[in-house]
């Protein structure tokens, strides 16, 4: 009986010692993150990003009905598509984008359409050239834009036949809301650790 109990006890001791190592490491990491306030900072970043992105979309929606004007940059004179996008980013986030749609595409980060979040840019080929039209994604497959002469700023469905056939891709503003907030949290976490 002793010969059976001793090996069984040793196996049990080894198992108990080995298994909690991983758990302790995970627990220690969670405690470390909590002690440094990193979890709270990341939650705050997530909230701030959502609020600022929401502000961008809400600001843009506040311009519904402003007439299209080629080369237009303001609500007073009217907007063209890229002028509208540029004005929304500048007024809401203080981020200055290039003036033309194709320049905005070049200055932004390509993302998969499945990764679209409110505030991202959506591009279309409406003039037989890439990135000839731009709008701001508002969620649920919809975007807001200043479409064309004789029309006004409006929200449209990207899945409609006209827009889906002309879709050129999705972009995220480099150094935009998500990137700036995440970098700030990482910097704060690093300095907290010193």
Per the DSSP assignment, residues forming a β-bridge with 133 are 124
Looking at residue 140, the DSSP 8-state letter turns out to be: T
For the record, the structure tokens of 80 come out as: 């063209």
Q: Which residues are catalytic?
A: 81, 133, 145
Strand ranges of the sheet holding 108-111, from the earlier edge strand across to the other edge? 108-111, 167-173, 121-124, 133-139, 142-145, 154-157
């Amino acid at each position: 009986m002793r010969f059976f109990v001793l090996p069984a006890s040793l196996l049990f001791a080894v198992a108990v010692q080995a298994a909690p190592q991983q758990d302790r490491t995970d627990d220690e990491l969670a405690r470390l993150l909590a002690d440094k306030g990193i979890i709270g900072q990341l939650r705050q970043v997530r909230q701030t990003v959502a609020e600022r992105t929401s502000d961008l979309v809400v600001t843009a929606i506040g311009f519904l009905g402003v007439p299209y004007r080629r080369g237009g940059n303001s609500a007073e004179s009217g907007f063209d598509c890229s002028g509208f996008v540029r004005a929304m980013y500048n007024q809401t986030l203080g981020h200055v984008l290039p003036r033309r749609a194709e320049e905005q595409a070049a200055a932004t980060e390509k993302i998969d359409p499945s990764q679209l979040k409110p505030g991202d840019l959506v591009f279309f080929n409406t003039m037989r050239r890439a990135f000839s039209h731009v709008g701001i994604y508002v969620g649920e497959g919809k975007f807001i834009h200043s479409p064309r002469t004789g029309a006004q700023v409006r929200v449209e469905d990207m899945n409609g036949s006209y827009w889906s056939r002309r879709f050129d891709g999705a972009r995220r503003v480099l150094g935009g809301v998500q990137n700036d907030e995440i970098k700030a949290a990482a910097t704060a976490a690093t300095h907290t650790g010193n």
